[in-house]
Amino acid sequence: MISTNDFHTGVTIEMDNDIFIVLEFQHVKPGKGQAFVRSKLKNLRTGSIVDKTFRAGEKVPKAHLERKEMEYLYRDDDIFHVMDTETYEQISLSLDQIGDGIKYLKENDRITVVMHGEKVVGVELALNVNLKIIEAEPGIKGDTASGATKPATVETGVVVNVPLFINEGDTIKIDTRTGSYIERV
């Protein structure tokens, strides 16, 4: 159990048969009445964000999460097969469990699988991934306006806006949180 007075960003709690992570919290002590904790929580299973107010000092069950590094092997329709890099045990993940990360995932990539007991509650990708450009229009000579971009398709099928000097065959680094171009590798 954890007291709501001990909340901080990143703490995971169990509530309503789900697991939530604390995104924001604020301790409020009104002039009259009892103190309370206003919080913003993200449901790890559904990804929805809820606002919840707790009494100050209220006890809630803490969720203990385990993170395992795994290797993405292959996709079979909407089932994704991954392997524990230590035990070589393979598990299957659904599209819901992988989430938006599928846009940047290619075979043999390392991912972190977040588990609560034996149940998978989420997948974390690396913050940056290197992907090869498979389709991009050539930049127009003389079109060097500052900050100009063009769409380019990477090997996973995602379209990313890149600077004009990027060509087919180039490898670029992409931020997986925002989906934006970082640099040419």
pLDDT bucket at 48, cuts 50 / 70 / 90: confident
CATH for 104: 2.40.50.140
pLDDT for the residue 120: 85
Please compute the mean of the pLDDT values over residues 73-85 and round it to a whole number.
90
Decide: 6 and 26 in contact? Cβ < 8 Å: no
59, 1 contact by CB (below 8 A):
yes
My answer on whether 133 and 112 are in the same domain is: no
Q: How many domains does the chain have?
A: 3
Q: Are strands 128-136 and 171-175 parallel, antiparallel or unpaired?
A: antiparallel
How far apart CA 166 and CA 163 sit, in angstroms, is: 6
Last residue of a domain, one of 60, 80, 104: 60
Last residue in a domain, options 19, 39, 60: 60
Global pTM? 0.72
Q: pLDDT over 90 for what percent of the chain?
A: 46
pLDDT on residue 141: 64
Model pLDDT, residue 45: 75
89 and 138 within one domain: no
Query: Which domain range does residue 47 map to?
Result: 2-60
